[in-house]
Every structure is written in C-alpha cells, then in structure tokens.
Amino acid sequence: MDKTQFTKFVNSAGGIIVNQKNQVAIIKMPDNDWGFPKGSIDEGGSHLTAAKREVYEETGLADLKMVKEFEPYQRPNGSDPQELKTIYMFLFRTSQEELKSIEPDVIEAKWVNKDKVTTVLTYPKDIEFFEKIKSEL
C-alpha cells in the first residue's frame, strides 16, 4: 500500500468476538458498511482497553474473555479516503448472546457463522485480515 496518498493517520482497536455457537459479531454503520466492532484509542489508553470499550459500545457485549492479540493491519478509512487507519484487533470469547448497541452510529449488530463472515464484510482489507486469522478462532 502506498502510504504517500494519505494525509492523516489514526489508530483504532476492536475485537473479533466469538460466541458459544462459533459465530462472529459484526456491525453495520450508517454508510451501510459492515465490519468488526472497533473505534478510536483514547490518548494514553491501551489498545486492549479501547477494544473492550468499543466492543461494549457497539454490541453491548461486556462478558469478554480475551484470548489473543492479532498483528495489526492497515486500511483506508471508509469515510475519509485521505486517512490511513492502523487497526489493533483482539480475539474475544463470550457467553452472551444478545447484541444491543448503545452507539447511535451502529445501525445493526448481528452474529454471523464464521464461514460466512467474509461474504458480509465491506472492506477488502478486513476480508483479507479475517481470512488470515479464521483458522485461529
């Protein structure tokens, strides 16, 4: 990826959340983009703390067991093509089933069978990331 095309750089953190049925939580944003719950990292905050906060805000899931941290990946921000986003993702397991976002920007949150996740995701880099880590879920 040619980083010279970007004028802004941001970090975000989020989670791949797997329930007891081996389904993965995904969210739909106002621009109809589907992705994983994630968001900005507070100044001085840890990636893990930000990931847990964003997962809770966007899915309502609070009972999270952190399993592992994945290598970060980068992609353009969907709402601002001048912005390059570095995404720090964690694998979480949960026994909670109900998804209920408290974040007004989230249109929908749903569980998807892990074999179908890549057919729903919007961004190619998210799909590429998930294909790479799917066997670790």
Proportion of the chain above pLDDT 90, given as a percent? 87
pLDDT tier at 12 (50, 70, 90 boundaries)? very high
CATH code of the domain containing 121: 3.90.79.10
66 in a structural domain: yes
75 in a structural domain: yes
Is residue 7 classed as helix, strand or coil in its secondary structure? Answer: coil
Q: How many domains does the chain have?
A: 1
28 in a structural domain: yes
3 in a structural domain: no
Q: For residue 51, give its domain range.
A: 8-134
> Residue 54 carries which side chain, given as an amino acid letter?
E
76 in a structural domain: yes
Mean pLDDT of 42-70: 97
Q: Are 25 and 109 in contact (CB under 8 A)?
A: yes
pLDDT digits (tens, 9 = 90+) for 61-82: 999 999 999 999 999 887 788 9
Max distance between CA atoms of the chain, in angstroms, equals 43
